[in-house]
Amino acid sequence: MSGCLCVQWTVTPLTAPEPILICPGCGRARPFRSSGKFRLNANGKQLDAWLIYKCTSCAATWNRPLFERRAVRTLDPATLQALHSNDPRHAETLAFDVHQLRRHAPKVREAADVQVHKQVLRQESSAWSRLDILFAVPVPTSVRMDRLLARELQMSRTKVLELAGAKIRRQLRRPVRDGLRVTIARKALVRSDQA
């Protein structure tokens, strides 16, 4: 057996992360969801922008800062247009940006459910000996690599950590990132199937 089966796994979260905030309406911590609408405030040649979130239990809202006092000329026209027209796609992209969200909401509930689209990039031989997985993560997600591999390869997390080797073990405990690569021997996959 020789060569690799090189595949790309494109990982996308199914639902946007939800900030957990003390809701002024409910008087307790509640998850908030993006309304898909922006709020803008122009001050001369400067612009403030927020994405409006709504409490999941009442009508209270929270404005998530996107930028403050930004010179309008430094914004690209497409972004500006998207903000002015409440472009749903732009709002969704921002709603899924958990890193930016965390800057304003220390507590965030991230959905663990992701969609994995698998695509064969190259098969060097039908008797390939290693599976080479390249991760494409266009939208950041909190799903850990080991959990994802365990789920998709139908094996335990302990087994995944064992197979992937000590070098990347630490990386596997972190959220999956764009461009990461994991190689697993076919032998190991077969053994694990039989186990």
List contacts with Zn ion (CB under 5 A): 23, 25-26, 30, 55, 57-58, 60
Q: Show the DSSP H helices in 12-156 as ranges.
A: 77-84, 88-95, 98-102, 145-153
Among residues 13 and 19, whose Cβ is nearest to Zn ion? 19
Using DSSP's 3-state secondary structure scheme, residue 45 falls into coil
Per the CB < 8 A criterion, the answer to whether 184 and 130 are in contact is: yes
| Closest distance of CB 51 from Zn ion, Å | 18
**β-bridge partners, 49:** 40, 67
Per the CB < 8 A criterion, the answer to whether 36 and 92 are in contact is: yes
| Closest distance of CB 104 from Zn ion, Å | 18
| Closest distance of CB 117 from Zn ion, Å | 36
Beta strands in 2-104 (DSSP E): 4-13, 18-23, 28-43, 46-55, 61-71
Among residues 30 and 90, whose Cβ is nearest to Zn ion? 30
| Closest distance of CB 63 from Zn ion, Å | 15
Q: What DSSP designation does 63 have? A: E
Shortest CA distance to 20 belongs to which of 30, 9, 33?
Answer: 30
Among residues 17 and 175, whose Cβ is nearest to Zn ion? 17
| Closest distance of CB 154 from Zn ion, Å | 40
Among residues 33 and 157, whose Cβ is nearest to Zn ion? 33
Among residues 60 and 185, whose Cβ is nearest to Zn ion? 60
User: Which strand ranges, in their side-by-side order, compose the sheet holding 114-123?
Assistant: 114-123, 4-13, 130-136, 181-185
